[in-house]
Amino acid sequence: MATIEQENDEKTRLVAALENLTSIDPKSLVRREELGADLHFEDGLPFFSRTLKLFNDLKNCSLDGISHNAVKQLAGSAEKALNEFKEIRDFSIQKHPQNAIDVRNQLIDKIRDQYDNYYNIITPHIAYSVRKGTDFELLENQARSTIETINKLKDEYLQDMDKLRSESQEILESMRRAAAEAGVSQHAIYFSEEADVQGKAANLWLVVTAIFGLATLAFAVYSVWFYSRADVIFS
C-alpha cells in the first residue's frame, strides 16, 4: 500500500500534467501559417478539442478519495497526452523531410485513436466526483417540498377561483335585478363580461401552477434516475 507521501507525489504529478494540458488552446495546434496549406493540422482540430476538454473536466474534479493506483493511472494518461500534443507542436518539415504528410497524419490519428482509452480511464472518476459532490437526498427532499408547496398553492388558487366565480355570479345577479328594476337591463352584459375575465384569469393561474408542478416533478424524477445511474457506475 502506498504511503501518504507517495500518494501526494502522484497527485502533484497529475496536477502538473493537467495544468499543462489545459493551458493548450486547440486552435494553436493547427499551425496553418507555419506549416502552410499542405501540412497544417486543421483536420485534427475536432480530436484535439474533445481530448483537451476531457482532461479539463478532470482538472475541475476533486481528487479526494481517489486511490493511489487510480491517480497514478490518470497521471500517466495525462503525461502521455501531453507528449502527443508536444509532438504536434514540434512537428516540422525539417524533421521529416521525406514523409512529412504521413507523419502529420499519424500524429492526428494517434490523438483520435487514444480518445476512447482516455475516456474509459477518466470518466469514472469524473462521475465519482460529481456524485460525491452532490447531495441527492437533499435535492430529493427539496423537490418533494416544492411539490407540496405547489400543491398547496394549487388548492388555494382553486378555492380562490371558486370564491371569485361565486362572488362574480352574485354581483351579476344583483346588477341584473337592479338593472331590471331601473329598466336598464341591457347594461348587465358588461358585468357578465367582467365575470368571464375574472374566471379566465383564475384558470390561467391554475395552468401556470400545474406547469410548475410538472417541471418540479420531472426534476425530482431526474435526480432519482441520476443517483441510480451513478450507483450502477460504481457498483
Tens-place pLDDT, residues 22-72: 999 999 999 999 999 999 999 999 999 999 999 999 999 888 888 889 999
Between 226 and 83, where is the model more confident?
Answer: 83
Distance CA 231, CA 73 (A): 23
* Sequence-distant (≥ 6) Cβ neighbours of residue 174 within 8 angstroms: none
84-111: buried (b, 16+ CB within 10 Å) or exposed (e) per residue?
Answer: ebeebeebebeeeeeebeebbeebbebb
CA 5 from centre of chain:
36
CA separation, residue 159 to residues 122, 155, 212 (Å) = 54, 6, 19
Distance CA 180, CA 175 (A): 8
pTM (2 decimals)? Answer: 0.58
pLDDT digit string (tens) for 88-136? 999 999 999 899 999 999 999 999 999 999 999 999 988 887 766 444 4
Distance CA 61, CA 52 (A): 15
pLDDT digit string (tens) for 130-171? 766 444 454 455 656 666 677 666 667 677 777 777 777 778
Q: Which residue has the cell 434516475?
A: 225
Burial of 197 (0-12, 13-18, 19+ CB in 10 A): exposed
